[in-house]
């Protein structure tokens, strides 16, 4: 299976970086040529063990050796898969977690008649590299980053289906549920510029924005309208020169009742030069406590470095139910 990430492996659509049609075509052909060299070196599959297309041929593209026959579905290991399915794929490197991707194309090519997939990758947080060479810290085993990075792989590298929920950052995260593994996406990873975008950001081009909006709408149709998270939130921003934020910071809220809400946040994961909202906690009012003081604080004492580059805009307290 291929998942190379060098400079020749260019996505079909990239965030904030445009290539001419000729440049994109050239780089895509070079990437796919490299992929084929890898695929040819793989062990041969017996015909009866190979993935097979299901249903009618939907179209053909290319000519000669480059001719591709495209399908909507395929079968492998007694399981059926189709276009736009989210799937788990076996990595080429042993002892690594299964890759996660969306199937964007299914086709046969070449005399051998093997079935190939074009897939669009998700990144686990520990796989996504920052500009400084470090990786984002995994907070939840279900967390993934979406990307516009595509590759060509063998259909036989698919292990199973999975479910990926696209949840805007102000919506409540759904609980894990059967029947298949599920993941949560709240950010898009630009693997070229090595930075993150929220699902609700306005900086996508029109095609990318439509794609992200469709995936969010697909999640809402599957789960129903997720409740808003409108609670106490701090609004900080880290500037480019920020230092000393390697350890998690504790955001704490003390209510008039004496009850404490606390959240630890990896500040170095925040996008630089952008205001972000960090939810500290939720609370309910009662007739006995309609007034009183709420204390807010943030603390980190593990690091021995001085901290700099953080600007706190303020604190927001919002009702969770807009109609109340």
pLDDT 10s digits, 162-213: 999 999 887 888 888 766 778 999 999 988 888 888 898 888 889 999 999 9
| Same domain as 247, residue 143 | no
| Same domain as 127, residue 218 | yes
Q: What is the pTM of this model?
A: 0.60
User: Is residue 141 assigned to a domain?
Assistant: yes
User: Is residue 131 assigned to a domain?
Assistant: yes
Report the pLDDT value the prediction gives residue 235, as an integer from 0 to 100: 65
User: Is residue 99 assigned to a domain?
Assistant: yes
Number of domains forming the structure of the chain:
2
User: Is residue 183 assigned to a domain?
Assistant: yes
Which whole number is the average pLDDT over 259-280?
A: 79
User: Is residue 38 assigned to a domain?
Assistant: yes
User: Is residue 144 assigned to a domain?
Assistant: yes
**What is the longest distance spanned by two Cα atoms in the chain?**
79
| Residue 275 scores a pLDDT above 50 | yes
What's the CA gap between 283 and 256, in Å, rounded?
11
| Same domain as 164, residue 251 | no
Average per-residue pLDDT in the chain? Answer: 78
Domain that holds residue 183: 21-223
| Same domain as 105, residue 175 | yes
Report the pLDDT value the prediction gives residue 291, as an integer from 0 to 100: 72
Report the pLDDT value the prediction gives residue 105, as an integer from 0 to 100: 96
**Low-confidence winner among 61-65, 86-90, 191-195, 299-303 (lowest mean pLDDT):** 299-303
Report the pLDDT value the prediction gives residue 4, as an integer from 0 to 100: 47
| Same domain as 124, residue 214 | yes
| Same domain as 236, residue 206 | no
Report the pLDDT value the prediction gives residue 192, as an integer from 0 to 100: 86
Report the pLDDT value the prediction gives residue 285, as an integer from 0 to 100: 66
Residue 22's pLDDT band, with cuts at 50, 70 and 90, is very low
| Same domain as 306, residue 243 | yes
Q: Is the dihedral of CA 278, 284, 287, 293 positive or negative?
A: negative
Out of 173, 192, 223, pick the residue that ends a domain: 223
Report the pLDDT value the prediction gives residue 17, as an integer from 0 to 100: 30
| Same domain as 281, residue 190 | no
What's the CA gap between 27 and 62, in Å, rounded?
17
| Same domain as 309, residue 209 | no
The CATH number of the domain holding residue 82 is 2.30.30.490
User: Is residue 196 assigned to a domain?
Assistant: yes
Nearest-Å Rg of the Cα atoms of the chain is: 23
| Same domain as 289, residue 208 | no
Which whole number is the average pLDDT over 75-101?
A: 92
Report the pLDDT value the prediction gives residue 18, as an integer from 0 to 100: 30
What's the CA gap between 218 and 255, in Å, rounded?
38
Out of 173, 193, 223, pick the residue that ends a domain: 223
* pLDDT, tens digit, 9 for 90 and up, residues 120-155: 999 998 888 887 778 777 777 889 999 999 999 999
Out of 202, 223, 244, pick the residue that ends a domain: 223
Which whole number is the average pLDDT over 225-251?
A: 73
Report the pLDDT value the prediction gives residue 130, as an integer from 0 to 100: 83
284 neighbors 206 (Cβ within 8 angstroms): no
What's the CA gap between 222 and 224, in Å, rounded?
6
| Same domain as 54, residue 154 | yes
| Same domain as 209, residue 138 | yes
User: Is residue 4 assigned to a domain?
Assistant: no
More confident residue, 129 or 84: 84
């Amino acid at each position: 299976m291929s998942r190379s990430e060098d400079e020749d492996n260019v996505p079909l659509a990239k965030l904030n970086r445009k290539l001419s049609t000729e440049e994109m075509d050239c780089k895509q052909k070079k990437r796919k040529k490299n992929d084929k060299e890898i695929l040819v070196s793989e062990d041969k599959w017996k015909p009866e063990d190979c993935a097979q297309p299901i249903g009618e041929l939907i179209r053909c593209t290319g000519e000669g050796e480059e001719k591709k026959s495209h399908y909507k579905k395929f079968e492998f290991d007694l399981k059926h898969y189709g276009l736009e399915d989210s799937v788990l794929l076996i990595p080429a490197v042993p002892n690594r977690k299964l890759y996660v991707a969306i199937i964007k194309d299914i086709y046969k090519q070449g005399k051998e008649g093997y079935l190939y997939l074009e897939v669009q990758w998700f990144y686990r947080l520990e796989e996504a590299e920052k500009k400084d060479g470090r990786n984002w810290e995994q907070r939840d085993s279900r967390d993934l980053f979406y990307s516009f990075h595509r590759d060509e792989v063998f259909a036989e590298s698919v292990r199973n289906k999975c479910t990926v929920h696209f949840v805007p950052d102000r919506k409540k995260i759904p609980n894990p549920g059967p029947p298949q593994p599920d993941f949560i996406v709240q950010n898009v990873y630009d693997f070229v510029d090595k930075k993150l975008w929220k699902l609700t950001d306005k900086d996508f081009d029109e095609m990318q924005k439509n794609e992200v909006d469709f995936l969010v709408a697909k999640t809402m149709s599957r789960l129903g309208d997720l409740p808003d998270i409108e609670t106490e939130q701090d609004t900080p921003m880290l500037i480019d020169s920020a230092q000393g934020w390697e350890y998690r910071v504790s955001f704490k809220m003390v209510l008039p009742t004496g009850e404490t809400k606390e959240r630890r946040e990896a500040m170095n994961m925040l996008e630089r030069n952008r205001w972000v909202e960090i939810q500290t906690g939720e609370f309910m009012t009662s007739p006995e406590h309609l007034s009183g003081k709420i204390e807010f604080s943030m603390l980190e004492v593990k690091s021995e470095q001085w901290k700099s580059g953080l600007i706190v805009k303020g604190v927001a307290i919002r009702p969770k139910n807009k109609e109340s």
